[in-house]
A and B are shown apart, each in its own frame.
Chain A
């Protein structure tokens, strides 16, 4: 296993368009997190999945954002009607269940909205 994989690495889109990002966690990890990192800031939590169930969402996740994790494997994060303020690095992390276990991060998807 090569770790957490995210696709695409970079995405440039016009304002108003929809975009979708994909995250493939480490295969045996049942916890999956999405974070957003803007320039000069640390990552901020967006949402959390335990297997296929989305158990927590941040208030940062407006109704233009939707995340899924069908069958508890890969996850997608969709942003509808993108705005310039959505420009950021979107990070995915995964970990095992069962008390504290280390979270492993992907390289992220950098979104630029023009």
Chain B
């Protein structure tokens, strides 16, 4: 699986959009970009994933650059409950494939 690079931490104001960057310059053609988050010590929670097109769901939007070497997770209106560690993971969709977590970005949403 390709390696990802994320900032260690970032702050965001409540009600504002949070833009979380991720670099994955060694991504290969069949690898997807996944985002998970972990609130405090709870189990990781799936947010969104994409291959090359931008994606949006009820939680977030995912913007992937045309060369696929980087992406941005957007939380459109951050709330205090969005305070968490956010993980960008690149992997193929092979059956049974594990998730390899890095250090993630610790996001603190401030009132």
Chains A and B bind each other? no
